């Protein structure tokens, strides 16, 4: 990352209309880069899967887009403008573990949080916004659980509530951090249906995904990330064994070796082997 490229204007590879333009972004924690020189344009109306090993910076990239982590260098534009001016057009589904599920709120309360920006400061949640939130709960098949405290929901149901909250934001760009992690089959189906519907409605979705078996089926574009961008583009071009090897590269072989060593000792469970492969 050089000073020169930081000052450069939109290059020919960047189109102003892109829902998300990431320009030479580097994010570092304590000097160690988490994201290195990320340069990416999301295709309009794309259903984009973001894939990479643990610690590849997937969540950090989403948080950088939302302005939640400081960038060491680079800049990010959403629909051609700085994110501060486009907050209303971005919806975010954080990882499920990021909140306290004992918090005294109901599923409907959480979904209504997606309307707060529309409601504005100091105002109460009006009946109209409450009904809009209820409609979003209904879209994810959770209408019957509106008054349930969120801790009393299953993992999949909690994920659907988060998805409903993002729908309630009525955004144009949806950022989702591992929405499929640890959910039941019915929820997975609901989420993918919603994603496809959003795409039909002209929205763009950038979704962190961890399951290589389904990534080709679910997404039409992929972003392979491991601190740097390994590959990005239409799924059929990008999803190659070579690219995956590059993405999971050193880690994969290292973990495979560790896994093999453990397996010989008979101490490795299937689940651990599975996660090691991820």
Partner 1 sequence: MPSLEVILMQDVPVLAAGVLASLACAVVGVFLVLRRMSLMGDAISHAVLPGIVVGFLLAGTMQSLPIFLGAAAVGVLTALFTQLIHRAARIEPGAAMGVVFTILFAVGVIMLDWTAGGRAHLDADCVLYGQMEHVLWITPPDSLAALFTWQTWSTFPRQIVSLAVVLLLNLAVVALLFKELRLSAFDPGMASAQGINPHLMHYLLMTLTAITVVAAFEAVGSILVVAMLIVPPLAAHLLTNRLVTMMLVAMLFALLASVSGYGAAVWIDTNAAGMIGVALGALLLVVGLLVPGGWVRKPRARVEQAVVSAAT
Name 76's bridge partners: 22
124 binds partner 1 (CB under 8 A): yes
The whole-angstrom separation of Cα 29 and Cα 37 is 14
d(CA 115, CA 167) in angstroms, rounded, equals: 10
> Which of the stretches 41-49, 122-130, 192-200, 256-264 binds partner 1 when contact is defined by CB under 8 A?
122-130
Among 5, 80, 148, 199, binds partner 1 (CB under 8 A): 148
Q: How far is the CB of 33 from partner 1 (least distance, A)?
A: 18
| Contact map string, positions 74 to 113, toward partner 1, x by CB under 8 A | ----------x--x--x-x-x---xxx--xxxx--xx--x
130 binds partner 1 (CB under 8 A): no
Q: Binding pattern to partner 1, positions 150-169, x when CB under 8 A?
A: -xxxx-xx-------x----
- CA distances to 30, 37, 75, 78, 249 from 40, rounded to whole Å, are 24, 10, 11, 12, 21
Cβ proximity to partner 1: between 84 and 271 the closer is 84
Tokens of 270: 């299937």
Structure tokens at 57: 């910076």
Distances (CA, A) of 229 to 20, 41, 247, 277: 15, 12, 9, 20
Contact between 180 and partner 1 by CB under 8 A: the answer reads: no
**Does residue 175 contact residue 203 with C-beta atoms inside 8 Å?**
no
Task: List residues near partner 1 by CB under 8 A.
Answer: 30, 63, 66-68, 84, 87, 90, 92, 94, 98-100, 103-106, 109-110, 113, 116-117, 119, 121-122, 124-125, 145, 148-149, 151-154, 156-157, 165, 184, 186
């Amino acid at each position: 990352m050089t000073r020169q490229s930081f000052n450069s204007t939109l290059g020919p590879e960047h189109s102003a209309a892109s829902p998300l333009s990431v320009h030479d972004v580097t994010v570092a924690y304590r000097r160690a880069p988490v994201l290195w020189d990320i340069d990416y344009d999301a295709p309009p109306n794309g259903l984009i899967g973001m894939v990479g090993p643990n610690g590849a910076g997937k969540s950090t990239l989403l948080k950088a887009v939302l302005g939640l982590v400081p960038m060491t260098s680079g800049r990010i534009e959403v629909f051609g403008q700085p994110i501060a001016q486009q907050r209303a057009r971005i919806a975010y589904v954080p990882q499920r573990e990021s909140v306290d599920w004992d918090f005294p709120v109901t599923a409907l309360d959480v979904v209504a949080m997606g309307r707060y920006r529309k409601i504005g400061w100091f105002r109460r949640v009006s009946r109209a916004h409450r009904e809009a939130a209820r409609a979003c709960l209904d879209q994810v098949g959770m209408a019957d659980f509106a008054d349930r405290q969120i801790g009393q929901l299953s993992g999949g149901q909690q994920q659907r509530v988060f998805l409903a909250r993002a729908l309630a934001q009525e955004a144009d760009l949806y950022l989702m951090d591992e929405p499929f992690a640890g959910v039941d089959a019915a929820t997975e189906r609901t989420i993918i249906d919603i994603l496809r519907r959003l795409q039909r409605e002209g929205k763009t979705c950038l979704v962190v995904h961890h399951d290589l078996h389904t990534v080709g089926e679910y997404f039409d574009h992929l972003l392979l990330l491991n601190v740097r961008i390994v590959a990005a583009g239409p799924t059929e071009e990008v999803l190659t064994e070579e690219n995956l090897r590059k993405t999971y590269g050193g880690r994969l072989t290292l973990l495979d070796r560790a896994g093999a060593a453990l397996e010989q000792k008979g101490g490795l469970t299937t689940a651990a082997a599975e996660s090691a492969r991820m």
